[in-house]
A and B are shown apart, each in its own frame.
Chain A
Amino acid sequence: MNMNLSRAIALVALATVALMWRSPGNPGEYDVTAFGRQPTLVNGRIKPLDTVARSTLLMLQGHQRVTIAPGQSLTPAEWLLDVFYRPTVADGYQVFEIVNPDVLALLGFAPEDGAGRKRFSAHQMLSHLGELDRQAKLADDTESAVRSPFQRAVVQLRDNVMVYQRLQSTFVAPGSGDFLDRLAAVERDFPAAAAVLQSKRTDALHDSEMAKRVLDLGREFSSMDTFSYLRPIPPAPGGTLLDWKTAGAAWTESLADGRPSVFGQGFARVGRAWLAQEPELFNRAVRELDEQSNAAWPKLTRKCTVEARFNSAQPFYASMSLYVIAFLIAVSSWLKWPRSLQPIAFALIGVAFVVATGGIVIRMWLEGRPPVTNLYSSALFVGWAAVALCLVLEYFYRNAIGSAAAGLIGFATLLIAHHLALAGDTLEMMRAVLDSNFWLATHVVTIAIGYSATFLAGFLAIIYILRGTLTRSLDPKTGEALAKMIYGIICFATLFSLIGTVLGGIWADQSWGRFWGWDPKENGALLIVMWNSILLHARWGGIVKQRGLAMLAVFGNVVTAWSWFGVNMLGIGLHSYGFMDAAFWWLIAFVVTQLVIIAVGSVPYGRWRSARI
């Protein structure tokens, strides 16, 4: 009966998740999702506009939906449409998160002026942009590692404003209200307009009204080309990535050869319909655009469609919530109704794992890379591999320990990943030295599995210590089982971190002619191997027993966190590709909690609650 119940719950959970994958609906009459899946080249990669909207919003305000009034919100694609075509409307949206008190003072804001006491609009900042720029320039001269919180915040805000303003110059010239109308007037008789430009050049007779209009537009096109960082205009079939253009460049070229850019016209039509707020016109214009890009670049368009759908499905959020629920159920099962709750927790972990696997596989397919390419994907993968190990443990032990550890690690790693995603698009291009799928697939993946296993051993040890000291549920049988799990996982961790470290050495020898260079990241990996071997030798030598092993394993979390994040904060060495400083305090906090748990574990076993049964 329990079996059936857990199966039913798993099915319901799976069905709920599957529903998320269906084509995302439109919030109103406008087919904004079709607009969101249009491809553009940005940061070296072709991605849908939807991804641009989401990653920009994450950068600006830390989440993807735009709240415009209580109970009223915009999808990322709707927001992007306003940024593109209705700049003055978009300027009113409060999407810039400012929390640093000194920056607030600089701009003359009180928290009450902002939405949610922290988000402000471009319109609000308008009169202070000069001062913001001046302060950011002052901070630019300070090396990024030694900037004060104010300097960091001011530089961050200036960069965000710049990204926002550059987005506004994608399809419409900055600071011009009637650009699309003037463009339409020229489009109506394009060959004539181009000819006017020619005749102007040759100084022959020309219609001066038309000439003025064309020359103005020409200037605006080139300023759009300078500002825009999206290149949404695809080349003719057969072109390469280098041939994708900004709308400004495409129009400049059109004026030169007398034929209007097909995609430039398409995006302008969409813009006029959006500006006029005509749903039917808008939907027709988007459909045309969709058909054109489908015809020209069927493969790319399909990829962008999948990516846009992946964005709106948000599989990692789904599995994050499932991990939390499963963790709570697993922990409760140690106190009440173990027979019913344990299989439910196991089933939920299974569903969360399947969803996360799906997400990782889609990312790999989109990127054409092995699973770990940057810090963000390492967080996804480390969690995934740890949960996989937990599922195996739970399969063999059926005591909810595997499920609890899986819930905790799965949730924690996805939470870390969520915060890492705030830095921008997570599917980034690989910097030169990392551009090797072979080594990414072997060395990086093996090292990440080593991290997973070391963390898992540490979290199992936390369960051992907290369950033993705080509850009476750690009976000798369970304690022994847990200690065996910890030991086994440490063996696994040793194997993988050793092989991973060694593969790293071989990669270094292949690329740099030296096996080992005492680089910080190399040292970090070595520390994990050494710590794990200390645990194994201490146990073999009888220096530690169950409780000692658990305490040592918890410290393994500290060693691994140092190697994973800590060394990046040093900002030196060949591997320092993932520098971040805000996370420094979180790392310190994590280390402190681990030390506290070790201190709790050091209380003699006789005084643990579980010993007094």
Chain B
Amino acid sequence: MISLLRSVRDLFVSLRLTVTLLLLGMLLIFAATLDQVNLGTWAVQQKYFHSFIIYAPVGRFAVPVFPGGYLIGGLVLLNLIAAHVYRFAFTWRKFGIQLAHSGLILLLVGELLSGLWQRDYHMRLSDRETKNYGESYRDNELVVIDTSDATFDQVVAIPEGVVAKKASIQHPKLPFRVVPKTYYPNSMLQARTTAAPPEAVNQATAGFGETIVAIPQPVTYRPNESNTPTAFVEIVGSDKSVGVFLVSTQIVMPQEFSYMGRTWKIAMRPTRAYQPFSLTLLKFSHDRYPGTEIPKNFSSSLRLKTPNGHDDRDVLIYMNSPLRYAGVTVYQAGFENNDRTTILQVVRNPSWILPYIACALMSLGLSLQFGMHLFGFIRKRSAQLRNSSSATSQLPRPSPAVGSVPVASAVIAPRGVRP
């Protein structure tokens, strides 16, 4: 038993494990890089890095083929911590290496946290348009809006995942039940009049859906395409059904209906992340180098406002200069609509500080370690060169350096030294 524990311990503190894990990590990253051509960056991250095991389809089965990023990263972390706990002894000679490795631990933890916590949204603003929310790239929500109050809308948002379960939804803010009847994660809409293919579906009895059919499409993972889900949703009151609505992210306008004297709206739209501030696009600029189409700069001039009035000022977002405000970073991500619409990316990453600390530790540690080796080497080698040239008074042709000093980082060698 003891010997088993000992061999487990020996495995986890061994450099062989380190080398093996690094190799596996390289293979993983290489495969993921190649697969980006097919899957796009986001799907690759989910499949390769934010996973424990990577599965490949073999026939109808998903067969585990390779350890994923969480597994390899976790084992590296374990290996690092185990080796340091086991072998820890403070000496200046080892201090640099320890510093570098503790930086690496922090970096791995930071990457794990940002994988868990980081959220990306985009905000599209046309001229003079104001928004106080970002929209998700991938997630959608079914919203039911109570517009009876003149000063604000009350929104009940139902995530796409819940709609997909097709269970009846009852919410305290809604006087009726919302019953998703059919859900397609990706679809195409077509007018009912045109010759519809046999797979076209329509169950709608109210709203725009009465004139449209939905055609289910396979889910896409391509980087430049997005899925447009469609659902048929029935609104069921206490006594009778209000109707079945066709909702889809392709129908931008919410559909209206009345229930018990109040006006409601229903829509499927990208999930919104409301921010504690609003941005108004004043002007988007796309500068080019004179006489060419080469872009020189993209910038958005914006008005930043908070509801409490503490902030009401102009901000400028341009390449390499994002807006950092209220815990999010807003950067210039693109443009469309003939330079009239700006696309901003809104990123929330609460663990952003960790990589900075980690990097400082690693750079300092390695510089210290290799610097010590280097100066030791230069001292010895210069002494050898001097000795041999004074002894033979001709071209020095010394034997290679003795001892274990490496010739690392030789570029910082003092320029003035000549034999």
Contact = CB atoms under 8 A, between A and B. Distances in A.
Task: Say whether A and B bind each other.
Answer: yes
Interface of A: 2-3, 41-45, 229, 231, 240-242, 244, 338-339, 343, 385, 388-389, 392-393, 395-399, 428-429, 431-433, 435-436, 439, 477-478, 480-481, 484-485, 487-489, 491-492, 494-495, 498-499, 502, 505-507, 509-520, 523-524, 526-527, 530-531, 533-534, 537-538, 540-541, 543, 567, 570, 572-573
A480 B401 CA distance: 9
Given A44-B292, A489-B407, A511-B322, A570 B22 contact: no
27 contacts: A41-B291, A43-B289, A43-B291, A242-B290, A244-B291, A338-B397, A392-B410, A396-B385, A396-B410, A398-B395, A428-B294, A431-B295, A432-B296, A439-B320, A477-B399, A478-B400, A492-B411, A502-B359, A505-B355, A510-B322, A511-B319, A513-B328, A514-B349, A515-B111, A524-B33, A530-B25, A534-B23
B325 to A, nearest CB: 11
B9 to A, nearest CB: 16
Contacts of A396: 378, 381, 385, 407, 410, 413
Contacts of A3: 395
A384 to B, nearest CB: 12
A499 B356 CA distance: 12
B118 A494 contact: no
B101 to A, nearest CB: 11
Contacts of A431: 294-295
A369 to B, nearest CB: 14
A502 B298 CA distance: 26
Given A44-B290, A231-B291, A484-B400, A432 B362 contact: no
Contacts of A511: 319-322, 331
Contacts of A573: 36, 41
B36 A398 contact: no
A492 B18 CA distance: 20
B243 interface: no
A478 B397 CA distance: 12
B292 A530 contact: no
A564 to B, nearest CB: 14
Contacts of B413: 392, 395-396
Contacts of B356: 506, 509
B15 A429 contact: no
Contact of A512 (B295, B347, B411): B347
Contacts, number: 222
Most chain-B CB neighbours within 10 Å: which of A435, A495, A533, A543? A495
A527 B29 CA distance: 8
B41 A519 contact: yes
A572 B40 CA distance: 9
A505 B23 contact: no
A43 B359 contact: no
Given A392-B410, A506-B359, A520 B370 contact: no
B45 A44 contact: no
Contact of B22 (A429, A495, A513, A534): A534
Interface string B320-346: 111010001111000000000000010
Nearest to A453: B411
Nearest to B404: A484
Contacts of A527: 26, 29-30
B32 interface: yes
Most chain-B CB neighbours within 10 Å: which of A397, A517, A518, A570? A518
Given A396-B378, A538-B19, A573-B41, 6 more contacts: A436-B319, A484-B401, A505-B355, A515-B110, A538-B15, A570-B36
B305 interface: no
Nearest to B48: A518
B345 A512 contact: yes
Given A339-B395, A488-B377, A512-B331, A543 B19 contact: yes
B320 A510 contact: yes
B49 A518 contact: yes
Interface in B282-303: 288-292, 294-298
B46 to A, nearest CB: 11
A406 B297 CA distance: 39
B265 interface: no
A126 B101 CA distance: 67
Given A502-B362, A572-B223, A513 B397 contact: no
B44 interface: yes
Interface string B357-378: 0010011001100100100011
B16 A541 contact: yes
A339 B247 CA distance: 85
Contact of A44 (B291, B328, B331): B291
B366 A495 contact: yes
B349 A523 contact: no
B326 to A, nearest CB: 13
Given A435-B297, A515-B352, A538-B19, A429 B373 contact: no
Nearest to A534: B22
B66 to A, nearest CB: 16
A573 B32 CA distance: 13
A567 B41 CA distance: 14
B409 interface: yes
Nearest to A559: B26
Contacts of B118: 514
A169 to B, nearest CB: 15
| 8 pairs of A and B residues whose beta carbons are closest in the complex | A44-B289, A513-B329, A541-B15, A481-B400, A488-B407, A513-B347, A491-B408, A488-B406
B196 interface: no
B286 to A, nearest CB: 9
Contact of A398 (B29, B294, B397, B409): B397
Contacts of A485: 407
Contacts of A392: 410-411, 413
B114 interface: yes
A516 B111 contact: yes
B387 interface: no
A389 B412 CA distance: 9
Contacts of A494: 366
A343 B394 CA distance: 12
A567 B320 CA distance: 23
Given A492-B409, A533-B22, A570 B400 contact: no
A574 to B, nearest CB: 9
Contacts of A572: 36-37, 223
Contacts of A518: 32, 41, 44-45, 49
Given A433-B319, A537-B22, A2 B363 contact: no
A393 B290 contact: no
Contacts of B185: none
A551 B363 CA distance: 27
A537 B19 contact: yes
Contact of B26 (A398, A531, A538): A531
Nearest to A494: B366
Contacts of A43: 289, 291-292, 294
A45 B330 CA distance: 32
A516 B407 CA distance: 32
A517 B114 CA distance: 10
A43 B294 CA distance: 8
B33 A523 contact: yes
Contacts of A385: 411
Interface in B130-158: none
B398 interface: yes
B320 A389 contact: no
B29 A526 contact: yes
A43 B396 CA distance: 53
B263 interface: no
Contacts of A42: 291
B366 A477 contact: no
A503 B289 CA distance: 28
A20 to B, nearest CB: 26
A567 B33 contact: yes
Interface string B382-404: 00010000000011111111000
B7 interface: no
Contacts of A543: 15-16, 19
